[in-house]
Amino acid sequence: MGFLNNIVRWFRRETAITTEGSGTSSIGSPARTGDTSYLMYGNDQMALNIATVFRCVKLLSESVANLPIQVMRLKGDLFTADNSSRLNYLLNIQPDNNTNAFDFWVQIVQNVLLTGNAYIVPIYNSVTLEADRLALCNSGCVMHDTTYDRYTISDFTNGIYGVFDESEVIHIKGLTLDGKNGLSVLSFARLTAGIAATGDNETLKRFANGGNVRGIVSNDTSVRGFGEYQDKQLQKTAVDVDAKFSAGQHIVSLPGQVDFKQISLSSTDMQFLESRKFTVREICRFFGVHPSFVFDDTSNNYKSAEMANVAFLSTTLNPYLRKIETELLRKLIAPSLATKRKFQFDRRGLYACDLDSRVKYQTQTIAAGIYTVNEWRREENKEPVKGGDAVLVSANLRGINEALAAPAKPTTPVDKNDSNNENNDGDGNKE
């Protein structure tokens, strides 16, 4: 389907349209007019200078890239991995000529978080009619016409230009208000990010100048009638005092009839440190990341850490995974095969390095009869063991067929008059 559309577009020879001069930027957000501050519109490269933003973006992008994605095919009543598929190679090894799969997914999630949109164009082979590469378009090279659902692409780096239909572009969106264009997290967090950046700049200034004091030098209010000569001397005194403070002196002498009033607030007055801690947590709220993941100095224990991991997977990471899985299925698989194919991230990869949680999960799935011992051994690249293919249940970990087939042992009632009963004496009476 995509290959035929490419042929039609080749003969149509539509001219590429650039995004310059339009009222809407290439990322679907309002055009930058007026204020040129990067914090007001969320410039991605500059916003990453904020440590919390950098950590949140890095955590989310690498968490998605760390999970292998499986191309599943329906066989009978079960979906099995189709490792021989060309899409499996593109999604897990090398999507494009000079890009590996890990960097590919990292860049996709980064684009979604920082610009609101990620655009992937499947390029099909003219001989096999299969997807030959998945080209991730550079930011700023795509203009989305939401009226006619067309994408105008001018990406000469990837060799892609022209007008594409909606079905030809894999469009991964961030938060969207109209269902067609995504908005970046920074477009909503620009005020909080601005506070954080201001705090970083103020910290730099305080360390750079040693916390210089700011104030006003004035005449003694009890003395009247100062003229131009006295004003010049007062100005010279102010310059001398400022130079002494800048040189690192803490106590300076003032000539008679001169008064100094400090106007700069101290860090305590501005609650400087508390404000910086507040901005860290505010940015984490926008990205949906628990403060412990950005090394915030909060009280933490084993239970809260466990709940933070669960919340991160279920409420933060899983929506991104489902969004990608659904868009891949919608754009790479024909509608007639949509019920027989699916793309699925292997979420077990999140606990690949947490050996304790991984072993507990494997033990519980074996005890519940979901996996067998040999199935898990294959996952760990171990040789199968004899009897390891039997499905076990939690009752003493016996074979499930054995547990169902074993009859219950009948209970024999005890005869009170039985002379062989050890609880009776020779006359049939209880001892």
The answer to whether residue 327 scores a pLDDT higher than 60 is: yes
CA torsion angle 29 35 39 42 (round to 10): 20
Q: How far is CA 427 from the centre of its chain?
A: 84
E strand spans, 184-270: 215-219, 258-262
Q: What is the mean pLDDT of residues 136-155?
A: 89
The HSE-up count of residue 110 (CA atoms within 13 Å, CB side) is 20
Q: How confident is the model at residue 25 (pLDDT cuts 50, 70, 90)?
A: very low
E strand spans, 199-257: 215-219
Query: 413 exposed, middle or buried (CB, 10 Å; 0-12, 13-18, 19+)?
Result: exposed
Q: What is the mean pLDDT of residues 392-403?
A: 65
Q: What is the mean pLDDT of residues 386-392?
A: 86
> Domain residue spans in the chain?
1-212+270-350, 214-263, 354-411
Three-state DSSP at 249 gives coil
The answer to whether residue 26 scores a pLDDT higher than 50 is: no
Q: Where are the alpha helices (DSSP H) in 66-118?
A: 86-92, 101-114
Q: What is the mean pLDDT of residues 128-153?
A: 88
Please answer whether residues 203 and 211 qualify as being in contact, where contact means their C-beta atoms are separated by less than 8 angstroms. Answer: no
Q: Which of 253, 47, 178 is nearest to 55 (CA)?
A: 47
What predicted TM-score, i.e. pTM, was given to this entire model? 0.67
Three-state DSSP at 65 gives helix
Task: Give the pLDDT confidence of 183-220 residue by residue, as tens digits.
Answer: 888 888 777 777 777 777 766 666 565 555 555 555 55
Task: Count, in order, helices (H) and strands (E) of the chain.
Answer: 15, 13
The answer to whether residue 77 scores a pLDDT higher than 70 is: yes
CA torsion angle 244 246 249 254 (round to 10): 30
Average pLDDT, the chain: 75
Q: How far is CA 265 from the centre of its chain?
A: 38
How does DSSP classify residue 250? S
Place of tokens 């915030």: 296
The answer to whether residue 27 scores a pLDDT higher than 50 is: no
Q: Which of 355, 391, 359 is nearest to 373 (CA)?
A: 391
Q: Which has more pLDDT, 238 or 109?
A: 109
Q: Which of 182, 64, 55, 14 is nearest to 112 (CA)?
A: 182
Rounded to 5 degrees, φ, ψ at 115 are -115, -15
What's the one-letter identity of residue 204? L
What pLDDT is stored for residue 49 in this prediction? 82
What pLDDT is stored for residue 285 in this prediction? 87
Least confident of 75-79, 132-136, 243-247, 367-371: 243-247
How does DSSP classify residue 161? E
What pLDDT is stored for residue 240 in this prediction? 77
Task: Give the pLDDT confidence of 289-298 residue by residue, as tens digits.
Answer: 888 888 876 6
CA 431/CA 427 separation, integer angstroms: 10
DSSP string across 31-62: P--S---HHHHT-HHHHTTSHHHHHHHHHHHH
